[in-house]
Each structure stands twice: as structure tokens, then as C-alpha cells.
Amino acid sequence: MDDNYQTYLNRVARMTLPEAYRSQVQHIQESYKFQPSGESRAAAPFPGYTLITPTADEDSDNAAFYATLQAYQQEVLQLPGNQDLIVPLPPGSFHLTLADLIWDSAYHHACEKNPEFDQQLHSCITETFQQYQESLTQESQAIVWQMLGLVIMPRAIGVCLVPKDESCYEQILKFRRTIYQNPKLIALGVEQHYHFTAHVTLGYFGDIPPDLERINLANSLSELNEKWMFSMPDISIHRVELRKFDDMTRYYRESDWPSLEF
């Protein structure tokens, strides 16, 4: 289901072009993951499991990457006319998702159907990580990706990433195939829903005023991209962890939950 290397590069490159922004801002929607609460918005319940890199507040190896991303987030939030348009995520929760597992209604249904779902999922992920680790060779190189630019999604805004080279891309694809083609995980209800688009979410769309100057917003985003063009940071993907979330602001784990070192 995931793209080959060249197709991926072409697809994400198009997503960061000015004409893409002008098109995408026409279709943004309020995110149901954050609901009005008094004069602001609060994270709505949205439970599930995911496989991600360590969150920014626990990833000292990529401290420079996340510090730059936090500065970029502040610039996005200061765009003219933003006001309550974008609900920012806590910078400490920034991360790169390598494989979504299960969430929201599908997770609720799985737990109702199978009281041992969490335990079985943990066990399956542990086995899968072991299988993947055994398939690695001594020659496996460091996995490095680079920020390409801002990306506008229907309900969120973030930065998308491209691999340093084809090997960095293929190693992540191999990992994803190991997850999504595992019969035991499939039996638990884990399935692939999306093509892989490496990104770090900066915030979700909140109040979208009817008179939003969408073209001005698109132009401002394009200008930010041009400003950042010569200082795009790298992220080293060295570890992936099973993490649980109750909403979109915190991803947590216990010390004995499965993890994998690349």
C-alpha cells in the first residue's frame, strides 16, 4: 500500500507547493479531537495505541530538531488572522508516527469484544519487534529523515519529512510491512488505513471563521516555507516504541512495554 521511494518524494513535494496550499486551505475542517471548553479548546477523549519515535521531551538525541520545530510552531501560531484557528499541541508531545495501530471507536469495540485485548496487543508487538530485529543485518545504516516543509491536512497542520536516501525510506517501509502483514495483529483488528506520509503534527484546526481569508493564509504559509528553506533540520530515527494515548496531547508507556532499536 505504501509508495515506492520516488513516488513518495514526488507526492510529498507536491504537498508543499504554494498551489497545494491554496487548494488545501479551501477544505480545512474543525477537528473533533479538540472541543470548545470555556474560552479555549480542550482535548477530547480519543484513545488508542500507536508505534512512534520517543516524544520530544524524552528524545535527547533529536533535541535540536524538536527545538527548531517548536520555534516553527510559534511562527505558525503568530500568522495574521490565526486567533483560535489553530489549537497547538504541547511541544513535548511532538513525535513521528511510524505505524498507527488502533484508535477511537475501533479500540473501544476491540476492548468490549476482548477483555484481554491490551495484553494480547502488547504480546504481539513484542513478537513482531523480535522478528524485525532478527531480520536486520550488521550493515543497516542510520535512519535519517529531513523536514521538507509545512503540510496542510483536512483537520491539522504539521511538517512533512523526506528520507535522506532510499535506504532510509526502505528501512521504514520494511518495518511497516512487518507490522501490517502480521497475521496475529490483523486478527486483533490492526490494519493499514493510510499511505505513509512522515510528518510531525504541530496543531489541529479549531474555530474556522466564515470570513477566513484562505488565500492570505495559504500565501503566509508559503512565505514561511521559503523563510525556512535553508534551515530544515534532520531527525535521526533510532528507536520506536509502543505507546498508548487517551487524547492527542500525551503519548505514554510503561518501562516494560515493547520497544525496538534500529
Reported as a single tens digit per residue, the pLDDT across 28-84 is: 999 999 999 888 899 999 999 999 999 999 999 999 999 999 999 999 999 877 778
- The pLDDT-based confidence of 138 (bands split at 50, 70, 90) is low
CA distance 167 to 142: 9
Pick the closest to residue 78 from 167, 203, 195 (CA basis). 203
Reported as a single tens digit per residue, the pLDDT across 227-239 is: 998 888 899 999 9
What is the pLDDT of the chain when averaged over all its residues? Answer: 95
216 inside domain: yes
Q: Which residue(s) pair with 144 in the sheet?
A: 236
Q: Domain residues for 165?
A: 5-253
pLDDT of 139 reads: 67
* CATH number assigned to the domain comprising residue 211: 3.90.1140.10
Average pLDDT of 133-137? 83
CA distance 195 to 192: 8
CA distance 115 to 108: 11
The 3 state secondary structure assigned to the chain is: CCCCHHHHHHHHHHHCCHHHHHHHHHHCCCCCCEEEECCEEEECCCCEEEEECCCHHHCHHHHHHHHHHHHHHHHHHCCCCCCCCEEECCHHHCCCEEEEEEEHHHHHHHHHHCCCHHHHHHHHHHHHHHHHHHHCCCCCCCEEEEEEEEEECCCEEEEEEEECCHHHHHHHHHHHHHHHCCHHHHHCCCCCCCCCCCEEEEEEECCCCCCCCHHHHHHHHHHHHHHHCCCCCEEEECEEEEEEEEECCEEECCCCCCEEEC
147 inside domain: yes
Q: Per the structure, how many domains does the chain have? A: 1
213 inside domain: yes
258 inside domain: no
Pick the closest to residue 147 from 38, 255, 67 (CA basis). 67
Greater model confidence, 142 or 4: 4
53 inside domain: yes
